[in-house]
Structure 1
Amino acid sequence: MSPAEASSRVRKACLPCIRAKAKCATSEQRPSECHRCIRLNKQCVFEVAAKKPGPGPKSRSRVRQLEQRVESLIDLIATKNTTSTTPDSSTAPVQVVTPDSSAPTDGAPPDSPPIPAPRYWVESPKFKTFDPVEAGLLDEQHAYRLVEEFKTSFVESFPFVIIEGDGSILQQQQPFLFHAILAVTSYATPRIQYRLSEELRRQLARIIEHSQKGLEILQGLLVYGAWYHAFFHPSNQQLAIIVQLCVALVQDLGLSRRTKPKPGKWAVTDCSMNERPKGSLAEKRAYLGTFFLNVLFAQAWRKRTTLPFTRWMAQCCDAFNGSSIPTDALIRPLIQTSELLSRVNTHFSYDDIEHTDVKGEMMLEISTSSFLGDLAHIKDSASSSPFLNQNTALTLLFTLLDMGINEVCLYSSLWGTSPQQITLPPSLARLKMLHRTMEAGTSYLNTLLRAPESQLYHLSLGTWAGWFYAVIVICRLVFLQENERMGRTALDDIPEEIDNILPRNLDGVVPPANDPGFDICPEDCGWVALTVAREFNIRHLFDQFVEKLSCTLPADCAPWRKARDERDSLYAIASIQHTMLNGFIKRIERQTPTVATSEGTAQYLAGEGVTSYGPFQPTWQTSQPIEVDANGRPGGILSLPFSSFMNFDSINFEGITLPASAFPPQGGEEIYSDLMWDMVMDDFTMPSL
């Protein structure tokens, strides 16, 4: 019996017979009327019986439900068979599946079109993962070697995704993670890496479309986000989206909370345990890796973390005590340092430094001393292991945290310094913090310089985001007094920093030395740019780093001129370091004529091994002439690649729009000229990643 028949039963007696309380018998010649109504010539009407309130018989109701499900499955199988006969599944129309699509309709002829039924679900083409080996981008042996390289080298920088099997098992059981690992490790072949990254982005789009969820997808996203600097391009930056996708997957998979054991689900072997561990070690690594990546992103982008630290994270770290995998020993100090870094950013309100509640020399000293004590405790607990002491990523993270704790020394407003007191020497406590911050920044760069060239490709995004942060802090420290007089001390978010980079004088000419906005701080102010730069040998340090990255960007090659499919993983970093070095030299050169007769300047120039600062003209700049007008000023409109070389691995997540200016976008986005150096470095306020 169909559901329609079951719900529309007719009474056995007509209404006139019911009223007369007479016997009602239907006529054989006229089934729709009874004998009594025909004899009395009355209108015979049979009333539809009303359904009795309350549930029906359970057995009959259960049978009807099973019948409906069987009919739905039959329609679904028929729909799939119809869809598979189409020539292209990607262009096939979307099939609508309904439970009653194949059931006949009462009262309708067989050839009539079926009555539209309500939609219950929509079936889309089946999801199929991309295999780089089957696509012909890599052969099996090469792909398996890259997987082994990830297991032995890359995992030391990001120990939150562990591959226990070999490459063939990973390819069969976890194809998406296999694809992500190959995209990260194929740095030696930029064209293949570019193809793999583009296919990986398409896979991510299809995963979102099909609502795919699982530990494998979370691990693949973590690998892709942890080495995102290898795929950086300003037009399609997606790091913030990747980080938030990881956080969403952690919530959907239930990795962020511990579920209580259900009664009756205990095994005999679990009776001696105090509590059942929730999830596998791979799930705990993925959960902690999401927190680690989230904190580093928030620190670099001046945001608040969207995944706070919980007690369950600390218990997850305890699960790796005594692990047979060596890199599991890195998880606890990495998570502890990340948690402390998150607390520092929240305590000092680095995302909104103007409205921070921590002000005054006493409050700043107490806060920094407390945080430095926590950092020392983490270092002491990790110093007992030679493996941890020799890990470059962990050492750099400690140094990054040291810089973050002492960053408060950059903001004169927090120290109660009025505009009239800017020319006075800093207090002793602040001066100590300035030196400590500079030592931490230079130590960060020196640690990277000591690393082998091959190891640079294995370092994760957190390390290179810290490198960019260290270079910015160093340049802020060198030109601290000048920035304070001009009110340029805060590290703003990306749109504000891009606005600061845009030149105020449209002709791009460096202001004269007697401009009051660029007066050099007197020698007795306690923090002179030339003296600080010479004391810490900043120019030589930047030169060494440029030489270190000459393998990816030779000295005679213009930055940002290579095609996208020819850039290796460190190309963007090398181009940015060229930008930093040239901007630093330009700013020092601008200050030199004003104090050319001072003893500090002479010593600085002598220490650099030159007699004067001449115009900095690398070989890749001399071939790009700049048109000038009758007054000798540069003329014409140049397209400034601000979004290309200044926003290292930044993301157009909240809508980054350049302010309206005289620099409309043109075809040559990546023009790289000496005029651009002058205009950009007039105000050394770099974007906060």
Structure 2
Amino acid sequence: MNATISAVKRRACVACTAAKAKCTPQTVNLCQRCARLGKSCTYLELPQTKRKHKAAPSRVEVLEKKVDQLMSQVAALTRQNGQTSPDTSSIPLSNDLGSSHDPELDSTDIAAMLDAAQDPSHGPDPPTSSVLEGQPSIVDRGLLSEAEAERLVATFQLDFVPKFPFVLFAHGETAARLRDREPFLFLCVVAATMGSAHPLRKTVAEEIMKHVTLRVVARSERNLELLRGLLVHSAWYSYPAERYHPRLLLLIQFCISILYDLGLHRKPSPSSDEQRALLGTYWLSVGFCGILGRPVIMKHDGRIDACMESIASTEHLSDRWIAPFIHLQSFLATMDEVYASMPASGGRVLIQVTRGSLQRQFDSVRASVEKDLSSCPLSTANAIRTEIKYVETRLEELSLREELWIAEPASAVRTTMLIGIIQQSKELIHTIRNLPVSEIAQMTITTSARTCAAVGYIPTAILTLLNLITGPTPTDSALEAQVQAVVEAADYPNLVTELANALETKFEGMSAAEIEADVVGSLCSKMRLLARCYPYQIRAVVGSAPSQDARQDTSMMAAVHANEVAMTPQIWPSIYGDLDDNIFHVDGIQWDSLLSNFTGFS
């Protein structure tokens, strides 16, 4: 035992301790009991393990005192702010409140904590000013003249707004004012209106992405100018063309993000520009993402309806044209949801019921939309009619989904729907092909996507129909006549070639590489490839081109006429009768991949 430890005598001697008797000292080394009994009185000396001192305040006491001080400061601050003093009686205290080193919090720290409690988000607010503010514009740098800038802004208001009435300028707006007040929106308007062949197109596109990169991505700027500019740029996006459109999809996602970050989806009293931006974001995002089979974030809810009703009462005529676009887009979104939920085991009956229900809904929407067409400008009416024709085409889309027809692949219902999708797609293509050259140059990316879908639907439906007609061994002459009727009615190579010729009017004077860098130009080259490969796909199904004599059989013609599809016999094109296997031939996988660029599925 450690000898340095001091010793103390116990209160009771050994004898009293053993007897569990009271031990009362009589002298220093003798107790009264041992003296009375004549016993030896011995006290044991034990090491001192505990010695009481006047203890310093415990850590708990220190912390309790500190908490009392903090609560007093909080109470004083809340009284200064006119708030009720917090009730401290229910605040639990712990014996283990963390590190023994807790620096005192001053009143400034408490005030900051109270501010943080009112706004639980973290980090500073995003900047409200542009990092590119004060930078010289393309006009200031002498790349674009003042006169041309004014012309492009005026062209946007006169010719482009009717096709996308979701971004509008005040009456009498000039390029100079727009450039100073909203430089990004000005850039996007210039990019949309300058045309594919303009020598500055690449420069302006790079300038736009500079704004997007530095302002939207790097600094998280959020304001209405950025949203409106992105809507314009996305609606008329053309350069650069990229497989699967990753940049365009990203720009549209930025539109949705900015809209929600600004709170426009729940703002009690949005301005007219904010309402248009909300509706434009819905129309563009739902339409384009739906075409590409991407998830659609925005839904048609009460706020969409409220904005449409409010915006229709403004003094601007173009605001009356918004509702038809939104109603048709909303129906397409509903159709996409219904199609996505179709079980493969549903069969013909479920398809018929679904098709009939959607048709009734669409009839109601179309009646409402067509009522407003007479008051729209011709260019707006053309855009809306294209949307209507696209919906009519999509109503027959289930006929192309093989998994839905396993039990009855050659059903008469399916045959009728396949003929319908061919006819509706042809009419959509004719609508675009017959547009004035000026309107073709002003088509939105959504209209271009609708057209491309029709280009892909026709050969998909024709080849499906021919497989059903011919079966594994097409030898009967009557079958040849049916094949002849179907192929001649579609006249696909000529139809697609004429469409490509019409669309390519916007690329006059451009090189092949420049055309391929444009979204529509790239699609035109694929259209021409489809037209040249298509006869080989026909021959792969029927074994050889139908003979000239087969044109006299009218059995298929009668069936087609019963479905109100006009099919006038024509001379079988020579390209079908003399095919070179070494030119334009593609295998089935490559053909499906080529078609998927247009339809979104093989």
User: How much is the aligned-residue C-alpha RMSD, in angstroms?
Assistant: 4.2
**Does the CA-based 8 Å contact 1:382-1:389 persist in structure 2?**
no
**d(CA) in 1 for partners of 2:344, 2:569:** 43
**d(CA) in 1 for partners of 2:130, 2:445:** 34
Q: 2:291 aligns with which of 293, 300, 303?
A: 300
- In the other structure, the counterpart of 1:491 is none
Shift of 1:521: 8.7
Identity %: 19
| 2:424 aligned with 1:440 | yes
Shift of 1:244: 1.6
**d(CA) in 2 for partners of 1:285, 1:121:** 30
**d(CA) in 2 for partners of 1:236, 1:431:** 34
**d(CA) in 1 for partners of 2:353, 2:64:** 83
Pairs within 5 Å for 1:122-141: 127-129=131-133, 131-141=137-147
The 3 A distance-change label for structure 1 pair 523 and 410 is farther
- In the other structure, the counterpart of 2:389 is 399
Between Structure 1 and Structure 2, which shows a larger proportion of helix residues?
Answer: 2
The 3 A distance-change label for structure 1 pair 595 and 286 is same
Which residue identity is paired with 2:270? Answer: G
**d(CA) in 1 for partners of 2:401, 2:204:** 44
**d(CA) in 2 for partners of 1:602, 1:612:** 20
Shift of 1:389: 8.0
Kindly indicate whether structure 1 or structure 2 has the higher relative contact order, using CA contacts under 8 Å at least 6 residues apart. Answer: 1
| 2:354 aligned with 1:367 | yes
**d(CA) in 1 for partners of 2:163, 2:519:** 15
Deviations 1:167-190 (A, max 9, x none): 222111111111111112111543
- In the other structure, the counterpart of 1:536 is 490
Q: 1:576 aligns with which of 504, 526, 533?
A: 526
Shift of 1:524: 6.1
Q: 1:451 aligns with which of 435, 451, 463?
A: 435
| 2:191 aligned with 1:183 | yes
**Does the CA-based 8 Å contact 1:292-1:335 persist in structure 2?**
yes
- In the other structure, the counterpart of 2:37 is none
What TM-score does the superposition give when structure 2 sets the normalisation length?
0.70
Q: 2:240 aligns with which of 231, 244, 247?
A: 231
**d(CA) in 2 for partners of 1:230, 1:575:** 16
- In the other structure, the counterpart of 2:462 is 478
- In the other structure, the counterpart of 2:208 is 200
Pairs within 5 Å for 1:468-547: 468-481=452-465, 528-547=482-501
Pairs within 5 Å for 1:645-684: 674=584, 680-681=590-591
The 3 A distance-change label for structure 1 pair 611 and 602 is farther
Which residue identity is paired with 1:588? Answer: I
**Does the CA-based 8 Å contact 1:161-1:285 persist in structure 2?**
yes
The 3 A distance-change label for structure 1 pair 59 and 308 is closer
The secondary structure found in structure 2 opposite 1:246 is helix
The 3 A distance-change label for structure 1 pair 677 and 66 is same
| 2:271 aligned with 1:287 | no
The 3 A distance-change label for structure 1 pair 169 and 546 is same
Shift of 1:520: 5.3
Which residue identity is paired with 2:184? Answer: F
- In the other structure, the counterpart of 2:375 is 387
Which residue identity is paired with 2:522? Answer: A
| 2:333 aligned with 1:342 | yes
- In the other structure, the counterpart of 1:332 is 323
Shift of 1:157: 1.5
- In the other structure, the counterpart of 1:316 is 307
Shift of 1:303: 2.9
Which residue identity is paired with 1:337? Answer: L
Which residue identity is paired with 1:545? Answer: L
Which residue identity is paired with 1:613? Answer: Y
- In the other structure, the counterpart of 1:218 is 227
Q: Which runs of 5+ in 1 are unaligned?
A: 1-18, 20-46, 70-119, 260-277, 487-515, 618-632, 635-672
**d(CA) in 1 for partners of 2:179, 2:507:** 34
| 2:253 aligned with 1:249 | no
Deviations 1:128-154 (A, max 9, x none): 156222233211211121111111111
Which residue identity is paired with 1:213? Answer: R
**d(CA) in 1 for partners of 2:130, 2:196:** 34
- In the other structure, the counterpart of 2:165 is 159
The 3 A distance-change label for structure 1 pair 484 and 533 is closer
- In the other structure, the counterpart of 1:145 is 151
**d(CA) in 1 for partners of 2:270, 2:237:** 28
The secondary structure found in structure 2 opposite 1:231 is coil
Shift of 1:596: 4.0
The 3 A distance-change label for structure 1 pair 381 and 599 is same
**d(CA) in 1 for partners of 2:331, 2:355:** 12
- In the other structure, the counterpart of 1:168 is 176
Shift of 1:56: 5.0
Shift of 1:525: 6.8
Shift of 1:594: 2.3
Shift of 1:433: 1.9
Deviations 1:446-468 (A, max 9, x none): 10011001111111011010011
Q: 1:414 aligns with which of 401, 404, 409?
A: 404
Deviations 1:31-84 (A, max 9, x none): xxxxxxxxxxxxxxxx9997462345589979x767999xxxxxxxxxxxxxxx
Q: Which runs of 5+ in 2 are unaligned?
A: 1-53, 55-61, 81-105, 112-122, 554-566
The 3 A distance-change label for structure 1 pair 612 and 470 is closer
- In the other structure, the counterpart of 1:686 is 596
**d(CA) in 1 for partners of 2:386, 2:176:** 34
The 3 A distance-change label for structure 1 pair 412 and 192 is same
**Does the CA-based 8 Å contact 2:448-2:520 persist in structure 1?**
no
**d(CA) in 2 for partners of 1:348, 1:339:** 14
**d(CA) in 1 for partners of 2:529, 2:439:** 23
Which residue identity is paired with 2:488? Answer: R
**Does the CA-based 8 Å contact 1:232-1:572 persist in structure 2?**
yes
The 3 A distance-change label for structure 1 pair 141 and 127 is same
**Does the CA-based 8 Å contact 2:467-2:541 persist in structure 1?**
no
Shift of 1:482: 5.6
Deviations 1:632-659 (A, max 9, x none): x98xxxxxxxxxxxxxxxxxxxxxxxxx
Shift of 1:589: 5.1
Which residue identity is paired with 1:341? Answer: L
**d(CA) in 1 for partners of 2:375, 2:245:** 38
Which residue identity is paired with 2:534? Answer: F
**d(CA) in 2 for partners of 1:538, 1:576:** 14
Shift of 1:597: 3.7
The secondary structure found in structure 2 opposite 1:383 is helix
The secondary structure found in structure 2 opposite 1:204 is helix
The 3 A distance-change label for structure 1 pair 345 and 230 is same
- In the other structure, the counterpart of 2:570 is 607
Shift of 1:294: 1.6
**Does the CA-based 8 Å contact 1:187-1:569 persist in structure 2?**
no
